[in-house]
Amino acid sequence: MKPRTLQGLTTVALLAALGWTLVERKPVAMRTDHPTATADKPAIKVRSAANLKLTGWNGPADKGFRAVLKAMESGQHARLTPAEIDAYLARHGRDAPSLVVASRLTDDLTLLREAIKAAPGDALGHLELALRSEDPVEKKAAVEAFRALQPDNPLGNYLGAQSAFAAGDYTKAAQDLLQSMDQGALQNHSLSLLDGTTDAYVESGYEPTGALIAGLAQAVNVNLAQSRLGLGLSKDLRGLQDEFVKAADFDAVEPTLLVGLDLGRRLQEPKAMIVEQLTGMAVEAAFLRQLDPVTLVDGGVSAGERLALLAAQSTELQGLTQSVLEFSKQATADDFERYFAIFRRDGELAAVRWAKERLGK
Identify the pLDDT of residue 75: 77
Domain-located, residue 173: yes
Predicted local distance difference test score (pLDDT) of residue 21: 33
Neighbouring C-beta atoms of residue 239, cutoff 10 Å? 12
20-48 burial, b at 16+ Cβ within 10 Å, e below that, comes to bbbbeeebebeeeeeeeeeeeeebeeeee
Please write the tens of the pLDDT for every residue from 4-18.
333 334 444 444 433
Domain total in the chain: 1
Q: What is the pTM of this model?
A: 0.75
Q: Are 156 and 143 in contact (CB under 8 A)?
A: yes
**Quick one: pLDDT at residue 175?**
92
d(CA 284, CA 301): 14
pLDDT at 244: 87
Which residue range(s) make up the domain with 82? Answer: 34-223
Determine how many CB atoms are found less than 10 A away from the CB of residue 87.
Answer: 15
| Model pLDDT, residue 6 | 36
pLDDT at residue 311, as a whole number: 95
pLDDT in tens, 12-47: 444 443 333 333 333 333 333 333 333 333 332 222
pLDDT score for 340: 64
How high is the pLDDT of residue 46? 25
Q: Is residue 192 part of a domain?
A: yes
| Residue 84 domain flag | yes
Residues of the chain with pLDDT under 70: 1-61, 190-191, 216-217, 219-220, 332-334, 336-337, 340, 344, 361
| Residue 191: predicted pLDDT | 66
Instruction: Identify the pLDDT of residue 59.
Output: 55
Phi-psi region of 173 (alpha: psi -120 to 50; beta: other; left: phi over 0): alpha
When the pLDDT of each residue in the chain is averaged and rounded to a whole number, the result is 79
| Residue at 113 is within a domain | yes
pLDDT value at residue 16: 41
Q: What was the pLDDT predicted at 3?
A: 38
CATH of the domain at 184: 1.25.40.10
Asked, for residue 71, whether it belongs to a domain, the answer is yes
Q: Indicate whether 231 belongs to any domain.
A: no
pLDDT of residue 333: 56
Long-range Cβ contacts of 158-163 (<8 Å, 24+ apart): 158/229, 158/230, 158/233, 158/263, 159/130, 159/131, 159/229, 161/233, 161/236, 162/229, 162/232, 162/233, 162/236, 163/136, 163/139
Answer whether residue 168 is part of any domain.
yes
> Which pLDDT belongs to residue 34?
36
Is residue 319 assigned to a domain? Answer: no
Distance separating alpha carbons of residues 104 and 122, to the nearest angstrom: 16
